[in-house]
Homo-oligomer: A and B are copies of this chain.
Amino acid sequence: MTDGNGTGLRAGRQLSLGAFLLESGHHIAAWRDPASPRAAGLDFRHYVRAAKAAEAAKFDLVFLADSASIRGFDSPSFPFEERGVRLEPLTLLSALAAVTERIGLVGTASTTYNDPFNIARRFASLDLLSGGRAGWNLVTSSNESDPGNFGQHGPVPHAERYRRAAEFAEVVDGLWGSLDASALRYDKASGVLFDKEGLHPLHHEGHYFNVRGPLNVPPSPQGRPVLVQAGSSDDGRETAARTAEAVFVAYQSFSEARDYYGDVKGRLGKYGRHPDELKILPGVFPVVGRTEAEAREKFESLQNLVDPVVGLGLLKTVAGGIDLSAYPLDGPLPEVPETNSGKSRQKLLLELARRENYSIRQLYLHIAGARGHWQLVGTAAEIADQLEYYFRNEAADGFNVMAPQLEWGLDDFIELVIPELRRRGLFRTEYGGRTLRDHLGLARPSGRRRFAPIAAGSSYSEAAAE
């Protein structure tokens, strides 16, 4: 093993891999691929196949997103896209727990439209029945479609969501530490089942929640579920530094990813945490071929399935709400008035279109496929080069693999890229342990409450102090 050109590699350090299982796959048109099963997001066998393939390849975890509504059913492109019609993630993960043995099971659940006792109990139950393989991806819900299903007229404002999330995480983590395994004696001879000393009611009285506890599920072999987060705003970074054990982030360039990595790792110290206590896993959308041409061909086969209505719908967002459907698809981008908001990514995209002389179709295809994620199209060696570079240069501890399509797309990654990573000494050939914490290299938490107080000087602390 070489030290590469970076500074971040300690001896034997290996990368972590998640398999993000999303309906037919992460390409926006994956559902139209001939190999994709019909209604993949509702097909348990489809997920079993993918989870077993990921486990055979020794991925650290499978990762499931959440959707508490049919998204955007008032948009013109509605009928042509997957819209969050899928199995509820914890239901699905619980079923997957029964047909897998080692792989971690990370599910997304929102703090905005749930209750902390219920969430603590469900993840603790999954953790216990899977033998210590559960993780909770804590998110807040900001989309426009969910609130109506929970009695709300619109999304909860950002600061409010984060304040609630911080207290929610506090309560859940407190509940996970509220019943010692040693409290459960089950001594048949004496008839003593409980030892009351091991029960630690929380008596939490907060702004959003009053929760007595203790939880009625004891710790699993990994102590408690792994706490995963996804936020990249300042509030999100601070929350992650204080409480998360893994973060899933979406970045398109090395410099963005390294900035994020350095920033967030740098925030851990003030909470008394070591940088290794938080694993940073950017999403990557890999299209792999045995040759570069084959990879491009595979990518094109998906790109060709993007319906113009879907592409134009995406462009409308990018172009500040302007409807481009009246212009010729293969003609140039018309003049689009500048928006005055801080939508820097949108501005960059429009500049790119001008510079590259993109047609309308070319521009929407540029953004449509991977839906804004880091896209790698190439051979296994080329893709492994990129992953290694990020990993060795303090931009990633591993990756959440967002296969463009979940049959051949995931299989390609497993058959071609994983062996290449192994040749480089970057990825395991066997699981070293049985729990998700074992796979990620995270310690079993000790103590009943883990989170340090919120540090001063962030909008998060201001929101929390309100």
Task: Spell out A's residues near B (CB within 8 Å).
Answer: 31-34, 36, 38-39, 42, 44, 48, 67-70, 73, 78-88, 90-92, 94-99, 113-115, 117-118, 121-122, 124-126, 128-129, 148-151, 179, 184-186, 188, 191-196, 199, 209-214, 216-218, 305, 307, 309-310
Contact = CB atoms under 8 A, between A and B. Distances in A.
Contact of A68 (B84, B121, B193, B195): B121
A67 B80 CA distance: 43
B125 A87 contact: yes
B31 A188 contact: yes
Please indicate which of the listed interface residues A33, A69, A84, A98 has the most CB atoms of chain B within 10 Å of its own CB. A98
Contact of A212 (B86, B91, B148): B148
Nearest to A310: B191
Nearest to A94: B94
Given A92-B129, A149-B212, A179-B85, A188 B32 contact: yes
B79 A196 contact: yes
Given A95-B97, A129-B44, A129-B87, A81 B193 contact: yes
Contacts of A194: 73, 78-79, 83
Nearest 9 pairs between A and B by C-beta?
A148-B212, A94-B94, A98-B98, A91-B125, A88-B125, A44-B129, A95-B98, A191-B307, A151-B210
Contacts of A91: 90, 94, 122, 125-126, 129
Please indicate which of the listed interface residues A34, A95, A124, A128 has the most CB atoms of chain B within 10 Å of its own CB. A95
A68 B192 contact: no
Nearest to A71: B216
A411 to B, nearest CB: 20
Nearest to A73: B199
Given A117-B149, A150-B211, 13 more contacts: A38-B186, A42-B184, A44-B98, A67-B216, A68-B121, A70-B214, A79-B196, A88-B124, A91-B94, A92-B94, A95-B98, A96-B98, A97-B98
A294 to B, nearest CB: 23
A192 B80 contact: yes
A151 B431 CA distance: 42
Contact of A199 (B70, B87, B118): B70
Contacts of A192: 79-80
B122 A88 contact: yes
A69 B214 CA distance: 7
Given A39-B184, A99-B98, A92 B31 contact: no
Contacts of A218: 42, 85
A90 B121 CA distance: 11
Contact of A79 (B125, B193, B211): B193
A69 B86 CA distance: 30
Please indicate which of the listed interface residues A91, A92, A117, A209 has the most CB atoms of chain B within 10 Å of its own CB. A91
9 contacts: A36-B188, A42-B184, A70-B199, A78-B194, A80-B192, A85-B216, A115-B150, A151-B209, A151-B210
A406 to B, nearest CB: 15
Given A42-B128, A151-B211, A193-B82, A186 B121 contact: no
A199 B78 CA distance: 12
Contact of A216 (B84, B115, B148): B84
A188 B98 CA distance: 32
A346 B79 CA distance: 62
